[in-house]
A and B are shown apart, each in its own frame.
Chain A
Amino acid sequence: MPNRATPEARNRLLSRVQGLRTALEGLVDRPMRVMEVCGTHTVSIFRAGLRSLFPEQFRLISGPGCPVCVTDQAEIDAAVNLAGKPGLTVATYGDMLRVPGSGSSLAMEKARGADVRVVTSAAQALDLARKEPDREVVFLGVGFETTAPATAAVLTEARRIAISNFSILSLHKTVPEVLELLASDPELKLDGFLLPGHVAVITGTGPFAFLPEKHHLACAVGGFEPDEIMMGLVELALQIRRGKPAVKSLYGRAVREEGNAKARGLLDKVFVHAEARWRGLGNIPGSGLSISEEYRSWDALHKLGIELGPSAPPSGCRCGEVLAGKILPPQCPLFGTSCTTLSPVGPCMVSSEGSCSAYYKYHRGGRLL
């Protein structure tokens, strides 16, 4: 986190961004379409107002980067159905609370008396189970490669202490598989991806090498500060203009080709890759992290006999197309009318990392520009 406390530090940031903006303007000599696939990027870009700095021919589309948003309707319903069961506590990241399921949400169930607790880590959920041995605590494991290792670590700890009142509903998903789907989509016509820095820290750049090799797509692994994001975009424009795509990491020494071996080892130990349901994108082979046989006693699906029902998204909601990069949030007929951050219809408007919410909160169809 760069220091913004002093006027000098702020001026340095401002002049770096201005320099990168000039560089981007110089490089973008034709229409370029790139996609960011990380909710933290989506929000940072809006919060820093970077969209107001892009050249006209440069289009940045938000992809399926918000873990809450890509969670399928059937998965949300399964979580909501757990809430309110006698003796059961649902422990969840705060973002999941307001996501509407088919009939209710975790927030609504909580208001009706269900024991739903917000935690900031999987470890906190395990602590809850330790402190309250009379309650069955179910942790909703949501997130990509970034959060999955923490869930994995907690699973190994749960096994070590042989705790019997704790389980995890693993809704974890992995990024490379969904990028394969998007890269092969002829409708999207992408030129490149801004890849998430923190995912690449875990996975390494290796799993993304197929993007330039097989699909001829530019790839930059970017950090999350405004200047780091701009640097990523400049790198993408450079690769596109030169016609020489590669996976280039601008996220410093944290990203290695092989990633974080320890975290990857943990994932392999606890999870197996399985087909997963993605909102709006359907079933993607190998893109889900299911809890392995060895850890089955702490797998909520198995322990509580959870069956996923049909995936029926709210009527009229086009979150699926937003996530797939097919439409921009303001193109959804519900955007800003019946779907706002106050009364969200779809998850992309609910989640703080959702692209509809970011467009609505920070951009509102460009009314400031």
Chain B
Amino acid sequence: MSSLTLGHGSGGRLTQDLIGRITSPFPRPETPELEDCAILPEGIGVTIDGFTVDPRVFPGGDIGKLAICGSANDLAVRGVKPLYICLSVIAEEGLEEEELATYMKSASKVCGELGVRLVSGDTKVVPKGCVDGLFLTTCAVGMPRPENVLGMNNLKPGDKVLVTRSIGNHGATIAACRFELKAEGLKTDCASLWPLLEPLLSLEGLRCMRDSTRGGMGTVLCEWAEGTKLGIEIDEAAIPVQEGVRSVSDLLGFDPLYLACEGTAVIAVAPGQAERALEMLRAHPLGVEAEIIGTITEEHPELVGMKTFAGGMRIVDMPVGEILPRIC
């Protein structure tokens, strides 16, 4: 084992491998679930997520909003209604209390909108230099619908893949701030997904949903293909990407497919219900840009293939290493 590099925190292949190694002392559960949240036998959905982002305030959000949306979305994509939040604050000596208070206000605002209650927490202040400013960790708890357990194991050849909005906004926004690029109108997609996704739970053919955060939509699709031994085929022309995201990506050499989103879900649904799912998504303000972007297939197992703008075919590979450090 060697020293950790930022690449190990990127959400891509290095992160996956690291998680495999560091969880090895724990006994394997009978059905290991590599999903966004755990659904416990007692009928509880639970997840935990740490947040550290530089800058802490960015167009469209801040670390407080991010911390609640992030965990609540991890529940929502498995059909779990978020109910409770536990919040841990680790702050660096010297942080202005007023700044911290503004993040708590934005966190509270999201909780209020979602009907989520803050029920437990922990606060630590550490000497200067021991953390960079502020780390927030949230644990979200909610109630799953027992009749509809979502997960990649439900995927079947022929299923349609949808994305709920244009991709890559969070990653591109943070990159633009970090590299001092001006991109008109560009802002994070940071939002809580439950109100958008709840109506879809009534669809019998709903197979699986994922919150595409670090590593972006490309990583989610690669995880599905590898986790199910199925292939996925997507159409580049169908994938919604805003112009601002495209220009930042072009300037910095990123692929929007791998840029982090913070309020964007990737959804697989039975072919017969794809159009209905699309209608339902588009009926909500967060889903107006939703599109059907691809299909699950038996061809090229474990690989994601993309028909390109130019009419060619190429592989979409899981990203390796650091795309941008400290993004969420």
Residues of A within 8 A of B (CB): 1, 3-5, 7, 10, 13-14, 17-18, 21, 46-53, 98, 107-108, 110-112, 120, 226-227, 230, 341-342, 352, 360-364, 367-369
Contact = CB atoms under 8 A, between A and B. Distances in A.
Contact of B308 (A226, A352, A361): A226
Contacts of A111: 3-6
28 contacts: A1-B246, A1-B250, A4-B309, A10-B237, A13-B310, A17-B310, A17-B311, A18-B311, A46-B314, A47-B308, A47-B314, A48-B310, A49-B308, A49-B314, A50-B312, A51-B312, A53-B311, A98-B321, A107-B7, A108-B3, A108-B5, A111-B6, A226-B310, A352-B253, A362-B315, A363-B315, A368-B303, A368-B315
Contacts of A120: 179, 252
A48 B237 CA distance: 11
B305 interface: yes
Interface in B3-21: 3-7, 13-14, 17
Contacts of B308: 47-49, 226
Nearest to A21: B311
Nearest to A3: B243
Nearest to B237: A10
Given A49-B306, A112-B3, A368-B305, 4 more contacts: A13-B310, A111-B6, A226-B310, A364-B315
Contacts of A112: 3
B203 interface: no
B246 A4 contact: yes
Contacts of B311: 14, 17-18, 21, 49, 53
B2 interface: yes
Contact of A110 (B5, B300, B307, B310): B5
A121 to B, nearest CB: 9
Given A5-B243, A10-B237, A48 B313 contact: no
A230 B312 CA distance: 12
A292 B39 CA distance: 66
B305 A14 contact: no
A361 B317 contact: yes
Interface string B298-328: 0010010111111111110100110000000
Query: 10 tightest CB-CB pairs across the interface, nearest first?
Result: A49-B312, A226-B310, A49-B314, A49-B308, A48-B310, A111-B3, A361-B317, A362-B314, A17-B310, A52-B312
Contacts of B54: none
B120 interface: no
B247 interface: yes
B92 interface: no
Interface centre among B255, B300, B314 (most CB of A within 10 A): B314
A367 B300 contact: yes
Interface residues of B, number: 34
A336 B253 CA distance: 24
Contact of B255 (A47, A49, A52): A47
Nearest to A343: B320
A48 B309 contact: yes
Given A1-B250, A10-B309, A52 B314 contact: yes
Interface in B246-285: 246-247, 250, 252-253, 255
A352 B6 CA distance: 17
A52 B305 CA distance: 12
Nearest to B247: A1
Nearest to B321: A98
Contacts of B4: 111
A359 to B, nearest CB: 10
B237 A7 contact: yes
Given A111-B4, A111-B5, A120-B179, A342 B14 contact: yes
A90 B3 CA distance: 20
Nearest to B12: A342
A17 B321 CA distance: 33
Contacts of B312: 48-53, 226
A369 B253 contact: no
A367 B303 contact: yes
Given A107-B5, A120-B179, A368 B250 contact: no
A209 to B, nearest CB: 31
Contacts of B3: 108, 111-112
Nearest to A110: B5
Contacts of A52: 312-314
A369 to B, nearest CB: 7
B317 A360 contact: yes
B313 to A, nearest CB: 5
Contacts of A53: 310-312
A266 B69 CA distance: 50
A130 B257 CA distance: 36
A49 B303 contact: no
Given A49-B310, A368-B300, A342 B320 contact: yes
Contacts of B303: 364, 367-368
A38 B285 CA distance: 43
B310 A227 contact: yes
B127 to A, nearest CB: 18
A351 to B, nearest CB: 11
Nearest to A98: B321
A353 to B, nearest CB: 8
Contact of A368 (B2, B310, B313): B313
Contacts of B310: 13-14, 17, 48-50, 53, 226-227, 230
Nearest to A4: B309
Contacts of B307: 49
Nearest to A20: B310
A17 B306 CA distance: 17
Given A1-B250, A47-B314, A342-B320, A108 B309 contact: no
Contacts of A17: 310-311
A14 B17 CA distance: 38
Contacts of B317: 341, 360-362, 364
